[in-house]
Amino acid sequence: MTNRIDEISPLIYARVAGFLYLLMIPLGIFGILYVPSALIVSGDAAATANNIMASESLFRLSIVSALMVQINQILLVLVLYKLLKPVNIIHASLMVVFALVAVPIAMLNEFNQFAALLLLSGADYLTSFGADQLHAQVMFFLDLHEQGIFIAQLFWGLWLFPMGYLIFKSDFLPKFIGVLLMIGCFGYLIDSFIFFLLPTIDVTLSGFTFWGELLLPLWLLIKGVDVEEWEKRALESV
């Protein structure tokens, strides 16, 4: 057969996907974990407001970082679709749907962060509110932002299952990574349901089930894929 299965080598898709996936890690840690933990003081609205005003540039940078994660997610899932489509196009499409549903939820959720900044902007129309009232509203929007993250996290978890299954069935990527990704799916889902249904319980399973998301991009960057097996699957899917 002289026609090429695909004009771009699967190794290129693998390297690009690995880079994009790894890029999400520092962006997500900075925007979603580090800055909120550094600036938000639980139960103290005044201290939180003062921290944000004193580090407004850092707070704004965290918003940009969180938005970049979502843009990166769009690119990543499209590249992974090209890489994993030969295994099963239906499951690959399901992976894309779950990943893309999370994007607008997470991006719109950042409006809550901007609302907190507007309340602290000192605009003339806010003079009718006292300092305590403004600070309380800031905490409200920050809490709402946290709720939104856990809603988006449901879909961050769901997209891992079809991706993990595709990798497990692929023969051109290690099966154990696929298993770890499917386990990671349940870690995110359980965390979200605990947050919404049992808010007094402070348990985070995803902190122990994330290994697949770390090993996959490293494998894609360093080892790539078994090109012969990928081409075999691509031929079978035509």
Residue 41's SS3 state is coil
Using the structure block, give the residue that is written with the tokens 């295994």.
87
How far is Cα 238 from Cα 236, in angstroms, rounded to an integer?
6
Residue 213 is predicted with a pLDDT of: 94
Residue 173 sits at φ, ψ, to 5 deg, of: -135, 155
The domain segmentation of the chain, as residue ranges, is 10-154+213-227
Per residue in 43-61, pLDDT tens?
899 999 999 999 999 999 9
Per residue in 162-221, pLDDT tens?
999 999 999 999 999 999 999 999 999 999 999 999 988 888 888 888 899 999 999 999
* Whole-structure pTM value: 0.89
